[in-house]
Structure 1
Amino acid sequence: MDTLAKLLDGVRARGAVFTRTVMTPQWSLRFASGAHLTLVAALNGRVWITPADGEPMELGSGDIAVLRGPAPYTVAEDPASPPGRVITSADYCARTARAVVVGEPAPDPRTCGVDEPGSALLISGAYEDRTGISDRLLDALPDVLVVPEADSDRTLLALIAAEVRHDKAGQQAVLDRLLDLMLVSTLRAWFDRPKNHAPVWYRPTDDSVVASALRLMHDDPAHPWTVATLAAKVGASRSGLARSFARHVGEPPMTYLATWRVALAADLLRDTDDTVSSIAHKVGYSNTFALSVAFKRCRGITPTQHRAAVLHSRGLSA
């Protein structure tokens, strides 16, 4: 059961924004591009990342951070330093542009800032489009996660660092795929660290009955599962499965299944034009009303309200 692969199957960077940023001493930047997922790596030097609502986190040389958007965040040499500039999706490299205007040597492609002795270097790649990024994946992530250099893929980071310094044919396609690889590699490394309490769909369980029940629900969420039918499939008693599942997963099987179905429905509401009725059947509910009841119980809003909020965030109307 490789649920992580399934959740990442729809994640495809298209036109990924990759930037190499030169951080001069005492420089503090506020990134407000609205990207839904951003990966940041320190190539050399140490910097601090401060999310919109959270404590600063230090990023050392070779460390990789994943930030959930679209809320802005600050990157600084000192977390106490106020941002000197705000960087948006339309303005990634204003300082570099000014340097070129005044006749200074042209910087490397995709580089923000001018190299100076003692500067820290950052590589950042952003998914500005939310399409394909599953709610089930995002729900398992903190606002900022950091994978230390010892656990990160240094070979992959070196490939990205080399690619962004040159302007080559087909480069955007290369950078898109490298960003996808970097995301998968970083998430896997983070989930593999025991202290991070990986979600139940990722971590292995030593209870084969529970593992089999999870696999059945993940592989076919639309099936009309009950505790009894799950128990029959995995060769356990109804009460035995219920007890083991609650002990290992932390909630009853049907509660877990409802949450999983609603998260899947939320992804389909965002990424497809399917009707609510069609989505209800795809995720295991008999009609729109049944899905709406479950959706509102889990998320506090109806499927229609969820879709309207997505369209509003994209500047569209329902």
Structure 2
Amino acid sequence: MDALAGLLDGPRARGAFFVRSVLEPPWSLRVRDEAPLTLMAMTEGEAWVTFDGGEPAHVAAGDVAIMRGPGHYTVADDPATPPQVIIHPGQICTTVDGDPLAEAMSLGVRTWGNNLRGSAVMVTGTYGMRGAMSQRMLGALPELVVLPGSAWDSPLLDLLAAEVVKDEPGQEVVLDRLLDLLLIAALRAWFARPEADAPAWYRASGDPVVGPALRLLQNNPAHPWTVAALAAEVGVSRALLARRFTELVGEPPMTFLTGWRIAVAADLLREPDATIGAVARQVGYGSSFALSAAFKRERGVSPQRHRANNARLNRR
């Protein structure tokens, strides 16, 4: 597992919401869905994305915008255009006055808008699941990322645009996997850009000493690691590994490992059939009591409370 795989590992798109929007100016969508992550691919025309309190960001044809929730934002033909549509949690669309719009603006399979020949066309995929591993990813992102089309070359945009309007067996799974692939490709291109503020541990993955150590910890959190054992695997002294790891990652190896184990455990606990004891063994704790104690130290809540909170969020 490399740094990007570690960043993205965990909950993947499951029944993500997809829509192809076709719009003719003036148009403005006020997004209040509070989704954890939304990816918008602009296939024709242009748009402006403005988070509350932020500056408008231009999105042109071929660009991809990634919006990190739960903040509210507006997508419009022009930052000055007042909102006409409100998108609520659960992707419920209404007018500003609260009148439903889903049927009135339907233009076909997963297609929606105010004009089937509109000059602005965008495909939006929204992740509805919240999980601990995705929280690690979300924490590495700014509220808004706009990746210019000139910054990368991927056939996925055209493929997603073609697939989103199909109604065939297994289409939901096809779209989920395409959304994951597009997100990975976009983040890989984004983190390579100089303006991207990638997390320290992500940047450290390229170091010849720290990179292998990170991969060992991420690939096998259940192993009874010590700094000495990790240093032996990497082929350096314990002192060198501890110093270099802390300098590049910003925390000692065992502190990183604890955070990683708890993040993995938190994600595994989303599954209703997973017992705390089984999860504890998967992430390197000898008992459910040991995991519960470490989990509460790291997260401030018990594993049971975390599971209940996550279930409540996912029902929203």
TM-score class, shorter: 0.7 to 0.9
Q: Match of 1:244?
A: 244
Report which stretch shifted further, 88-97 or 111-120.
88-97
Q: Match of 2:97?
A: none
SS of the residue aligned with 2:39?
A: strand
AA aligned opposite 2:68: R
1:10-89 correspondence runs (5 A): 10-51=10-51, 54-88=54-88, 89=90
1:1-318 correspondence runs (5 A): 1-5=1-5, 8=8, 10-51=10-51, 54-88=54-88, 89=90, 91=92, 97-98=103-104, 107-115=107-115, 119-130=119-130, 134-165=134-165, 167-168=167-168, 171-200=171-200, 202-203=202-203, 205=205, 207-315=207-315
Question: What is the rounded CA distance, in whole Å, between the counterparts of 1:313 and 1:183 in structure 2?
Answer: 22
C-alpha contact (below 8 Å) 2:39/2:125 kept by paired residues: yes
AA aligned opposite 2:103: A
Question: What is the rounded CA distance, in whole Å, between the counterparts of 2:169 and 2:278 in structure 1?
Answer: 43
Question: What is the rounded CA distance, in whole Å, between the counterparts of 1:24 and 1:241 in structure 2?
Answer: 58
C-alpha contact (below 8 Å) 1:135/1:267 kept by paired residues: no
Runs of 5+ in structure 2 lacking a partner?
95-99
Cα distance change, pair 78–271 in 1 and its aligned pair in 2 (3 A): farther
Aligned identity (percent) is 52
Question: What is the rounded CA distance, in whole Å, between the counterparts of 2:91 and 2:256 in structure 1?
Answer: 41
C-alpha contact (below 8 Å) 2:265/2:280 kept by paired residues: yes
Cα distance change, pair 126–153 in 1 and its aligned pair in 2 (3 A): farther
Runs of 5+ in structure 1 lacking a partner?
101-106
CA drift of 1:267 comes to: 0.8
CA drift of 1:80 comes to: 4.5
SS of the residue aligned with 1:194?
A: coil
Cα distance change, pair 303–52 in 1 and its aligned pair in 2 (3 A): farther
Q: Deviations over 1:241-280 (max 9, x none)?
A: 2111112212111111111111111111223532323322
CA drift of 1:309 comes to: 0.9
Question: What is the rounded CA distance, in whole Å, between the counterparts of 2:209 and 2:65 in structure 1?
Answer: 36
C-alpha contact (below 8 Å) 1:135/1:266 kept by paired residues: no
* TM-score (normalised: structure 2): 0.82
Q: Deviations over 1:217-252 (max 9, x none)?
A: 112112222222222332322222211111221211
CA drift of 1:124 comes to: 0.7
SS of the residue aligned with 1:122?
A: strand
Please report the RMSD computed on the Cα atoms of aligned residues, expressed in angstroms: 3.1
CA drift of 1:165 comes to: 4.4
Cα distance change, pair 247–12 in 1 and its aligned pair in 2 (3 A): closer
Report which stretch shifted further, 243-252 or 73-82.
73-82
Q: Deviations over 1:167-218 (max 9, x none)?
A: 5565444333322221221122112223313335544655422222212211
C-alpha contact (below 8 Å) 1:95/1:112 kept by paired residues: no
